[in-house]
Structure formats: C-alpha cells, structure tokens
Amino acid sequence: MAELNLDGIAARLESLEETILHRLLDRAQWRVNDAAYLSGASGFPGAEPRSLFELRLRSQEEMDSKFGRFCVPEERPFNKNLPKPSRTVNLPDTGVRLKDYDAVNLTEPLLNSYMLILPKICPAGDDGQYGSSVEHDVYAVQAIARRLHYGAIYVAESKFRQDAEGYKKLVEARDRDGLMEKLTRKDVEKKILERVKTKVRSLQANVNKSIRNTVRYEPIIVYYKDFIIPLTKHGEIVYLFNRVGND
C-alpha cells in the first residue's frame, strides 16, 4: 500500500502542485470576466439563477460521475445528486477508512477561496471569452480539489497509522487544538511555500511577456499559505473524527 507511506504521499502532493500551477497560469490568459460568475448571465435560457461557471462545473461533474471519477477517495464532487457511474471501476484497496468519502468534502470553501484568488491572477476587465474562462476555471478547481482531498485523506490516514492510540484519544476528547498541534509540520509547510515560489517563476521563465499574461508568485503563495495548507489540515481533522473506529 504505497499510498500510505508519508514520503510517497508528499511526492504525489508535489506532483499535483505542478498541475495546479499549469492550470492557474492557463486560466490567467483570460480576463477576470465577472459576467461568467453572475446569476442569470449565462446565455442559457431559463438557467437562472445559475451562472455560466456553475452550469459548466455541474455539466463537467455529471460527465465525470458517469465515467466513475467520484469512486476515487480524493475526487470529491462540488455538486450533489450526480448520476451514478455507468462504468465498472475497479480500485485496489486504497487504505482509506471512511464509511462515506464525502465526509471529507472541502469543495465549498474551495470555491469561495477560488473566487478570491481569480482577480489576483487574471488581468482585470472583460474580454467576452466567458466559455474559455469557465472551461479553465473547472480544470483549475478540479486540480485544487484533488490536491486538497488527497492531502487531507491520505496524510491523515498515514499519520493515524503511526500513532493510532494517540490520535484516538484526542478524537475521543474532542481536542481539536491537540489534533492540530499533533498534525502540523511547520518545516514541511515552509518547504512547500518555497517550492511553489520557485516553480511559479521557472514555469514562466521563458514566456514571451508581450503575448502571454504572466502571474506573480505572491498571490499564489498567499493562497497556499492561507488556504490550501490550513484547509488540508482542517480536512485531516475531519478525516480523523470520521475514521476512528473504522478498523
């Protein structure tokens, strides 16, 4: 069960980082385009109050659900009431011990935070390219969601296995502060932030700035520091509360 080795998990998280950055840099080729996120401005008759972005995300997830995406623990959907998979999906034992994978679903705070980072990475204004904007939004939020849930679920399970008794006691005492302290690895967090900074720069090192919008590393670092890292830890705690007793 390679997934439950902490080094293996850290490696997977690092690889998912690249994909998140690719997708944010691609989204940043379009303007913010507020209209794509406004209720009733989607261009789809009768779709109010849903925005074009909401419609696109739902449509993507309906397709993904039929293809079996949400049978995977780290793929948690943004929408409810999606169609069942029409495909047989055979997964090996992942080692995840949750009765319902959606017990750890961080998509709602993710969406809120994504709307905050968008104007910090995209040029201001409206270029009319709403379809392309929301297409790339969906790719980006799905990549972020995969990283968040993978981190929350697998990191927590792996740490739990290192000290099942210790975590169990804290969960039973409902000691969230104690859990947070036990989970936190400041050195790892610092390393992630340094790595993201280096990558945002090197991914854009040979970009022709007159034709491609470049993104500063600062908002992405802040996003990791204030959102991705703390929300992953919050997810770890939720995992542990739902995990204890499922052996």
CB of 8 to its own copies, least distance (A): 9
Separation between Cα atoms, residue 146 and residue 149, nearest integer Å: 5
Q: Which is nearer to its own copies, 64 or 157 (CB)?
A: 64
Interface contacts to its own copies, rule CB under 8 A: 11-12, 14-15, 18-19, 22-23, 25-26, 29, 42-45, 52, 55-56, 59-60, 63-64, 66-69, 72, 86-90, 92, 128, 131, 135, 139, 195, 198-199, 202-203, 205-208, 210-212
Could you write out the DSSP letters of every residue in 113-166?
HHHHHHHHHSPSS--S-HHHHHHHHHHHHHHHHHHHHHIIIIIHHHHHHHSHHH
The distance of closest approach from Cβ of residue 247 to its own copies in the complex, given in angstroms and rounded to an integer, is 26
Nearer to its own copies, 45 or 174 (CB): 45
Task: Work out how close the CB of 39 gets to its own copies at its nearest, in angstroms, rounded to a whole number.
Answer: 15
| Cβ count near 211 (within 10 Å) | 7
Least distance to its own copies, CB of residue 231, Å: 22
CA–CA dist 180, 236 (Å, integer): 9
Listing DSSP states for 41-70 in one string gives -SS-TT-TT--HHHHHHHHHHHHHHHTTGG
3-state secondary structure of 28: coil
Residue nearer to its own copies on the CB measure, 12 or 233: 12
- d(CA 122, CA 213) in angstroms, rounded, equals 8
- Of 138 and 156, the one with the shorter C-beta distance to its own copies is 138
Q: What is the smallest separation between the CB atom of 20 and its own copies, expressed in angstroms?
A: 10
Which residue's CB is nearer to its own copies, number 57 or number 237?
Answer: 57
